[in-house]
Amino acid sequence: MKVARAAFGVGLVAVVALTIAMAGQDATMKRGGGSSIVQFELAGSASMAHEMLDVWGPTGREAAHRSLEFDLFYIPAYVLTIGSAVWMVSRGWHQRLAPWLIAATIVAGGLDYVENAFLFQVLRPGFPDGAPRVAAICASIKFGLLAVAIGFVAVWAGAGLIHRIRPAS
């Protein structure tokens, strides 16, 4: 448990620091009515991606590129944070789910890297028409897997907290 707590702490510090750095890039992209990086991840079509790129202009595209570069470090940070949180809240019968949820978090991280590879292509002139679609599919699956793992943590952390503060019968 000490290792999981240490991993959680290190991951959380990295997630917070990178979230702050990425928020600055997102603010640049949103200037003038531009889309966020998450909206870009989920664009899903070449026409939607072109529209976003046009609104962003060169400054927004550079900010999106920097955001994707930060994401390369953000991915292992959130995988570490969520995976260790899953491990820390796992007790009793639901502990059997922990390895599967940790694996799902790792798969989500892998999908995020694939998504980013396609998004880097979209930021280049003449990108393949299918690149936004592949990125959106990867992003959608990633968000679903992470939602399940985070939901597990929220439910069982909440149950543990209630158990600790509720007087014993």
Neighbours of 129 (CB within 10 A): 11
To the nearest 10°, the Cα dihedral for 26, 30, 34, 36? 40
67 touches 29 (CB < 8 A):
yes
pLDDT value, residue 95 = 82
pLDDT tier at 161, thresholds 50, 70, 90: low
- Structure pTM? 0.90
Residue with tokens 């690149």: 131
168 touches 123 (CB < 8 A):
no
Neighbours of 80 (CB within 10 A): 20
pLDDT value, residue 136 = 98
Give the model confidence (pLDDT) of 101-124 as tens digits.
Answer: 999 999 999 999 999 999 999 999
Q: Given a cut of 70, is residue 8 above it in pLDDT?
A: yes
CA atoms of 158 and 164, how far apart (whole Å): 10
Neighbours of 43 (CB within 10 A): 23
Classify the phi-psi angles of 35: left when phi > 0, otherwise alpha if psi is within -120 to 50, otherwise beta: beta
Give the tokens for residue 51: 């529209």
pLDDT tier at 30, thresholds 50, 70, 90: very high
